[in-house]
Amino acid sequence: MSFWSPDSKDLFYTTDDTPEPYYGNSVSTLHKLRVSDGASTFSRALEIPKSNHTTGNSESEIQKDKIPLSPAPGLIWSPSGDRAAFVTDNPAAPPNFAQPEIFIMDLASGAVEMLTGGYDREVSELNGSKMLWLDDERLLAVDYDEAAGGEDVGLKEERTEARVFTVASDFVTPPEIWEIVGETDNKATEARPLTRINAFLTDDLRLRGPETISYKGPGGQMIRGWMYTSPSFEPDNNTAPTKHPLLLYPHGGPYYFWSSNFFPNFHVLADAGYFVLAVNPRGSMSYGQDFASALADRWPGPDYDDYMAGVDHVLSTYATFIDATKVGIIGGSAGGLLVDWAITHTTRFTAAVSYSDIADNSAYWFIGDEPSLQRDDNSTQPPPWRIPLDVELSPITHGLNASTTTPTLFLSGTRDFRTPAPAGGQIMFRLLKYLCVPTALVQFDGAGHGIDPAASDDPRHAVLSLHYQLRWLGKWLKGEAAPEFDPITVETVPIPQAGLGSVVVKILSVLVIPYSGDVLSGKRGYPLPLPFTPGLQAICRVTEAGPDATTLALGQLVLFDATIRGRDDPDVIFVSGMLEGFTEAARKLSRNEWRDSTYAEYAKLPLENCLPLNEQRLQALGYAADDLLHLTAMLVPMGGLSDLGLKGGETIVIAPATGHYGSAAVHIALAMGARVIAMGRNEESPAKLQALDGRRVATVRISNDVERDTQALVSNAGGKLDAFLDISSPMAAGSTHFISCINALKFGARVSLMGGVHVEL
């Protein structure tokens, strides 16, 4: 970390002076470098006193009882350059539950003073990296006050106007960039949005703000939070009220808090018909240091008690609207640990979802991302993985309690190093399976710690995570079908019967794509019309035809095209047995008559998707049913080449020509009488294509040199080319072959774009 002095004459930088950081806190040192001659003018260890403050009157006081700062905090220099402000945790508070405080360091003496020790609320740097010095005596920072989320911001400023730009949100407003303007003549502070990036949410969706909840917890403190309900919920409706399931949603951290920020999870769950309870128990931020410290060395404990008291409170307060027999719990990270603790300590939850959780503190010590391996100086202490308190506070320790009966879904990312699944969801899943408690484990390949909509950096993981949460909760709290969570079964079903617009066929051979397992396991995220019979393109024989069939007869050999379209709307598409589509119309089509596909002995298929084959001629050519599956690969490039109007004697470049469809295109172009230039990245694959017909197939290796490749294409073709078929995958986005091929075309040449690459020409 480096930064300039206010007068730009000196450069300050920090170093980490500990060669091996595993054994406790490392030491950070601040260095000052004079720019004019490069001389180092001083070095000072970055430390703060263990007590709340020090006067700095003596060198001995400055040096005793110090805590090194690591990593080095962001230092914000005063205008005069003789002091620096920074934010770090209160050293006198329990680790992991310490409020951030503002400290001032005197550059000359090294004395450090805490400014906010009497404030008893967290403070934060503006924008997460810098505070603002108004002058040599005043700082501007942000504070958290009882999770208010900054509803009223006042800027005490001597200038005529103060402007702050920030990213902000509230209960029903997604994050946007806001400008806050404050004036000194007692006018109200004005806040106005500068962007509407997420306006589609507020414009298209009905979002309802929550009701405020407060109650006295078991420890005597007031516990506060919110209850989210559906926008369609009308408490004053005179009709008999509908009873809704209740969801308790403990927050992560555990030193964190629910606030008035926008949390999409709550709105989705509330819109699905749940009452969602989000409260801040002991151990949460924004209620003072004593409130936070109540959880130190007792987590989980007081927080669990406060959450359960919250459930009791709302079941009493909302008794008219909540079904007390349908109470669920859902949480992630530290909230996931709380879920694991709850399902091993109570039977009152009908369903649970735990994501990115930790269930075994001993296992976590070995595989988590906390690096410290520091040993206690007291040789009588057990090693970290055998500390009795940590073992006692592990949910897995209590897994054999009689209360462990709640159906629970576990979600985790395969690259979550903060809360690794082997110390959390995986072992809890095995425990519940051992106990014959309904459970499921979903792991997201490549996902890290954030897999829910509020934290994920991958929208696929965010959407799928929420999808599985809704499906599991719907199954156990609302009685909805969720066959993906039922045990896999294989059923013997009767041979289907043909009706109008359909035929029944016997399957002779069927295509199995390499990633079928990923699709059917849910790894690819393809929506499936479960339960169903999977399948894909197939070679079939007609065994029964519907009464309106005119071209297909009994015994007819056919090729089944798995892309099924709506008869009254060709834009409604789904892939039989592999993808039910992404629109409601496509899902409706796939979930009714055409739900079952071709991984079976017999299948009922749409008439228009069964293409008749000339069996007599194919047999004469030596083709068997298995061979005919190659037609499914041939037909794709055949469409592109037909659109080109490719003629015998013309020269076409096919690129890349070495993949599944590219090599098929070479075969088709040769059959159409054309001469082919096949482009590829290696020598071996194009050589195999050239062996098909040495006179009519030439190869060019893609070198990423546009001019060189263009000349090679023209040279091999004996002049400019007549046509270009591009069949690039999206992974070829960085390739230069597209431009080379365009440059090698003659005037009036034709181009067929069947690939997935976007290129600037």
Domain residue ranges in the chain: 2-141, 144-205, 212-234+241-373+381-485, 502-617, 626-753
Distance CA 275, CA 484 (A): 25
Residue 444 φ/ψ, nearest 5 degrees: -100, 115
CB 203 within 8 A of CB 211: no
CB 673 within 8 A of CB 651: no
Provide the pLDDT for residue 60.
37
Distances (CA, A) of 740 to 518, 682, 696, 750: 36, 17, 21, 15
| Six token digits for residue 468 | 């599985």
DSSP E strands in 318-475: the ranges are 322-332, 351-355, 408-413, 439-444
Residue 737 φ/ψ, nearest 5 degrees: -65, -30
Q: What's CA 5's distance to the chain center, in Å?
A: 41
SS3 assignment, position 586: helix
Provide the pLDDT for residue 127.
45
CB 641 within 8 A of CB 661: no
Distance CA 631, CA 611 (A): 11
Instruction: Give the bridge partners for 573, in sequence order.
Output: 565
Provide the pLDDT for residue 137.
65
SS3 assignment, position 128: coil
CA-closest candidate to residue 625, choices 613, 636, 633: 613
Provide the pLDDT for residue 142.
54
- Mean pLDDT of successive 10-residue stretches along the chain, which has 761 residues: 83 81 74 89 82 42 63 80 87 90 87 85 63 62 48 35 79 91 64 89 88 96 97 79 95 95 94 97 95 96 98 96 98 98 98 98 91 68 90 97 97 94 98 97 91 79 92 96 84 91 96 85 81 94 95 94 93 93 89 94 97 94 87 88 94 89 92 94 78 89 93 95 88 80 95 78 63
Q: In the CATH hierarchy, which fold is given to the domain comprising 502-617? A: Quinone Oxidoreductase; Chain A, domain 1 (3.90.180)
**Which of 93-96's residues contact partners 24+ apart within 8 Å by CB, and which partners?**
93/289, 93/292, 93/293, 94/293, 94/296, 94/297, 95/296, 96/255, 96/296
The CATH number of 212-234+241-373+381-485 is: 3.40.50.1820
CB 467 within 8 A of CB 475: no
Instruction: Give the bridge partners for 5, in sequence order.
Output: none
Provide the pLDDT for residue 128.
43
Provide the pLDDT for residue 66.
79
Residues, the chain, total?
761
Burial of 309 (0-12, 13-18, 19+ CB in 10 A): middle
Sign of the four-CA dihedral 516, 519, 522, 523: positive
The CATH number of 626-753 is: 3.40.50.720
Upstream peptide bond of 300 is cis (omega within 30 degrees of 0) = yes
CB 751 within 8 A of CB 723: yes
Provide the pLDDT for residue 146.
52
Distance CA 271, CA 228 (A): 9
Distance CA 275, CA 229 (A): 5
Region at 530 (left for phi over 0; alpha for psi -120 to 50; beta for the rest): beta
CB 239 within 8 A of CB 193: no
Residue 55 φ/ψ, nearest 5 degrees: -80, -25
Provide the pLDDT for residue 162.
66
Domains 212-234+241-373+381-485 and 626-753 share a fold: yes
Burial track 270-290 (b if 16+ CB lie within 10 A, e otherwise): bbbbbbbbbbbbbbbbbbbbe
CB 541 within 8 A of CB 625: no
Distance CA 245, CA 224 (A): 21
Distance CA 597, CA 576 (A): 6
| Six token digits for residue 321 | 């609207």
Provide the pLDDT for residue 660.
80
Q: What is the dihedral of CA 717, 719, 725, 728, to 10 degrees?
A: 80
Upstream peptide bond of 175 is cis (omega within 30 degrees of 0) = no
Contacts of 235 (CB under 8 A, 6+ apart): 241, 321
Distance CA 121, CA 145 (A): 7
CB 413 within 8 A of CB 447: yes
Distance CA 288, CA 345 (A): 29
DSSP letters for 448-467: -S--STTT-S-HHHHHHHHH
Distances (CA, A) of 333 to 96, 395, 450: 15, 14, 9
Neighbours of 352 (CB within 10 A): 26
Alpha carbon distance, N-terminus to C-terminus of the chain? 42
Contacts of 218 (CB under 8 A, 6+ apart): 302, 305, 306, 309
CA-closest candidate to residue 368, choices 360, 376, 377: 360
| Six token digits for residue 589 | 């089509």
